[in-house]
Amino acid sequence: MKDKMLEVNNLSVGFFTPDGTLTAVDGINISVRKKETVCLVGESGSGKTVSALAIMRLVPNPGVVTSGEIIFNDENLLKISEEKMRALRGAEISMVFQEPFNCLNPVFRVSGQIGESIEIHLGLKGKERDEKIIEVLKLVGITDEKRVFSSYPHELSGGMRQRVMIAMGLVSNPSLLIADEPTTALDVTIQAQILELLADLKEKLSLSILLITHDLGIVNEIGDRVYVMYAGKIMEKGSKNEIFGSAKHPYTEGLLKSVPDLGPVKKRLYTIAGNIPDLTDIPTGCRFHPRCPYVMDICKMKDPVESMFSKEHSAWCFRYFGGEQKNG
């Protein structure tokens, strides 16, 4: 497809630890189109962040991308040189992290943090650089940009810091923004503001966003398409409406049921039984089978194949194998 911006094909990332090899990401396929917000959803430890870092080619040691390709604007990012990759980072693909405090260097003023990317990618200096910083601070909705410009990170609130982080990511006009749980560390009202900002920036800058989150509320708010990830594999993918309206995979169902309702308490909050598996000891067959309420014998033996429900909507589950739904 022509309007594809990022295509991740069969990506696997392994961590070679002394206790054995751990496959954090196991053959995932993800695509992001132009001006689209794609959400990657899953519990902690499901490999979301590692996938994002793999796209940036920054998988931490001892992790290694063991297979697959990452096509960004017709170029396989896994094949290009480190210099070329460095020129892409921050310029074409930016990333925003979860902890806005830890991601800002405590010895730099905000101007220095944002200026860094400008110096590297745009080569602006002096007054031009400062003007650009002020401009991008305004863009991310900071109203007292003069004060923030010369503040140190510890002088700013969490929401402000996250705005600064986003400003850092956007200053050299990237086409893809990877946001790794950008609102997890913020309280709910600030969270809403940041999401609104992201949605707004996406329109203004024709940005594509790959949003990593465990919060389905966020997905519902700004997602276009959703990938549900579990223990390093994609379980289900589809448009937001398909996922929220007619989730097929038992894991997605479980996630949707585990979202707390506001209002009078009627019943206990649903939880998916059990924990995410140890990645050095992944269950055979479908990885979700030990926790699945509909588990069948075949689930314990074979990897599920893709069942397509529409052009966008697929699930990897044996319940739909052969086109019909089987229960238990």
Partner 1 sequence: MKDQILHKGQKVLGKLIRNKLAFLGAFVIFVLSFLSVFAPMIAPFNPEDQNIEERLLAPNSKHICGTDELGRDVFSRMVFGARVSLAVGFIAVIISAIIGILIGSAAGYYGGWLDTVLMRFVDIMLSIPTLFLILMLTVYLGPNIINVMIIIGLTGWMDLARLVRAEFLTLKKREYVLAARVSGASNGRIIFKHILPNALSPVFVSVIFGVGGAILLESGLSFLGLGVQPPDASWGNILTSGKDYIERAWWLTVYPGLAIFITVMSYNILGEGLRDALDPRLVE
| Footprint on this chain of partner 1 (rule: CB under 8 A) | 56, 58, 86-91, 94-95, 97, 99, 102-107, 116-117, 120-121, 152, 154, 165, 168-169
- To partner 1, the closest distance from the beta carbon of 85 in angstroms equals 9
Contact residues for 143 (Cβ-Cβ < 8 A; gap 6+): none
Picking from 205, 204, 184, the residue whose alpha carbon sits closest to that of residue 194 is 184
Name which of 89 and 132 has its Cβ closer to partner 1: 89
- To partner 1, the closest distance from the beta carbon of 175 in angstroms equals 14
Name which of 213 and 252 has its Cβ closer to partner 1: 213
Q: Cα separation of 173 and 180, whole Å?
A: 18
Name which of 5 and 234 has its Cβ closer to partner 1: 5
- To partner 1, the closest distance from the beta carbon of 172 in angstroms equals 8
Name which of 17 and 105 has its Cβ closer to partner 1: 105
- To partner 1, the closest distance from the beta carbon of 49 in angstroms equals 11
Chain CA centroid to CA 320, Å: 27
- To partner 1, the closest distance from the beta carbon of 184 in angstroms equals 13
Residue count of the chain, please give it.
328
From residue 48, give the alpha-carbon distance in Å to each of 127, 239, 248, 312, 317.
Answer: 40, 18, 21, 20, 20
- To partner 1, the closest distance from the beta carbon of 197 in angstroms equals 18
Name which of 84 and 300 has its Cβ closer to partner 1: 84
